[in-house]
């Protein structure tokens, strides 16, 4: 039991979560942009 948590594993996990968060944010931004874009076209 002399092995502490490897920082490399934590870094990989943090990078994966960061990438996943960016992907979700991009999907939401694109969805909102398309949604409001269609709304603007409909109201024009």
For residue 2, tell me if it sits in a domain. Answer: no
For the chain, the C-alpha Rg in angstroms (whole number) is 20
For 2-16, b where at least 16 C-beta lie within 10 A, e where not — what string? eeeeeeeeeeeeeee
Instruction: Give pTM, 2 decimals.
Output: 0.51
Compute the distance between CA of residue 31 and CA of residue 17 in angstroms, rounded to an integer.
21
Number of folded domains in the chain?
1
For residue 25, tell me if it sits in a domain. Answer: yes
| Helical ranges in the chain per DSSP H | 7-43
For residue 4, tell me if it sits in a domain. Answer: no
For residue 5, tell me if it sits in a domain. Answer: no
For residue 39, tell me if it sits in a domain. Answer: yes
Instruction: pLDDT tens for the chain, 44 residues: list them.
Output: 556 666 688 888 899 999 999 999 999 998 988 888 777 666 65
For residue 1, tell me if it sits in a domain. Answer: no
Q: Which DSSP category does 5 fall into?
A: P
Domain that includes residue 37, residue range: 16-43
């Amino acid at each position: 039991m002399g092995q502490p948590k490897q920082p490399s594993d934590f870094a990989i996990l943090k990078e994966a979560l960061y990438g996943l968060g960016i992907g979700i944010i991009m999907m939401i931004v694109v969805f909102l942009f398309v949604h409001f874009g269609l709304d603007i076209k409909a109201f024009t």
